Structure 1
Amino acid sequence: KSITVNLKSERGLDLVKNMAKRADVMVENFAPGAIERLGLGYDVVHAVNPSIVYAQVKGFGTGGPYENNLAFDMIAQATGGVMSITGEPDGPPLKPGATLGDTGTGMLLAISILAALYRRRDTGQGERIEIAMQDAMLQYIRVALSNQATYGVAAKRNGSKVISGFAVPSGIYPCKPGGPNDYLYVYTSRTNPVHWRRLLEVIGRKDLIGDPRFDTAAARLKHEPEVDAMIAAWTRQHDKREAMRVLGGAGVPAGAIFDTMELTEDADFEQRGIMQTMEHPTIGPFKMPGWPVRFGGRTPEVKPSPLLGQHTNEVLGEWLSLDADQIDQLGKDKII
Structure 2
Amino acid sequence: MSFPSSSLPLAVSVGEPSGVGVDITLAAFQRRQSLGLPRFFLLADPEMVARRAERLALDVQVRTIGSPDESGADGRFLDILPLVNPHSEAPGRPDPANAAGTIEAIDRATRLVLDGAAAAIVTNPIDKKALYDAGFRHPGHTEYLADLCASLTGRACQPVMLLTGPDLSCVPVTIHIPLADVPATLTCELILSTARIVARDLSLRFGLERPRLAVSGLNPHAGERGAIGREDEAVIRPAVEILRTEGFEVVGPLPGDTMFHPEARARYDVAVCMYHDQALIPAKTLAFDETVNVTLGLPIIRTSPDHGTAADLAGTGTARPNSFIAALRLAGRMAGIGDAVEDSPA
- TM-score using structure 1 length: 0.26
Structure with more contact order per residue of length (Cα contacts < 8 Å, sep ≥ 6): 2
